[in-house]
Chains A and B, each alone.
Chain A
Amino acid sequence: KTGYRAVLRPDLSLAIGSRSAFTAAKPDHTNPNWLRVGLAFGTSAFLWGLLFKQHSTDVHEYKVRNGLE
């Protein structure tokens, strides 16, 4: 390469295509936000528990109303 093309360098700061409009810092994916991870898994577990409880209540209610129990 000659001339100005010898000093061309790729713009490494453009490696990430988009950034949040709300923060100035770059996202750090090597240190997870364990609080958010715990809340997400905890909420999932809670929702599944709620679902199974609701289903069990529904089945019992159906049996009672149709004279099966």
Chain B
Amino acid sequence: MGLPDEAKALPPPGIINRNSVWLGVIGWCSAMLQNALNRRPPMKSGVHRQALLASIGWFIGYHVTKHENYTYARLDRDMNEYIRLHPENFSDKEKKTFAEIVEPFHPIR
């Protein structure tokens, strides 16, 4: 169920990555929301809960980033392989300069 073996050849995400930060903050905010709904001081109470939920979010975010990196790398590889196999669909059109397109200018003053 994890990533295939070829995914290990990709550069791994950093400890600090976008998904980790986002899910970590969501975990932290959900702990504070639970505090607020139970009429406790949101930031000062249940620090162990805040730390746990933020850590869980950060951990899940790291693995989400790994999965995301692999998905985009696979899509890029498949796209480039298709382009390589079908060059007739990706030829450069012959380019015209503006001088060839634009009509001659006759000022009427």
- A interface residue numbers (CB < 8 A to B): 16-18, 27, 29, 36-37, 40-41, 43-44, 47-48, 50-52, 54-55, 58-59, 61-62, 65-66
Between A and B, 23 residue pairs with Cβ closer than 8 Å are A16-B38, A16-B39, A17-B39, A18-B37, A18-B39, A36-B48, A40-B48, A40-B51, A40-B52, A41-B51, A44-B48, A44-B51, A44-B52, A44-B54, A44-B55, A47-B55, A51-B15, A51-B58, A51-B62, A55-B62, A58-B12, A58-B66, A66-B9
* Alpha-carbon separation in the docked complex, A56 to B49 (Å): 27
What is the CB-to-nearest-CB distance from B2 to chain A, in angstroms, rounded to a whole number? 12
Residues of B within 8 A of A47 (CB): 55-56, 58-59
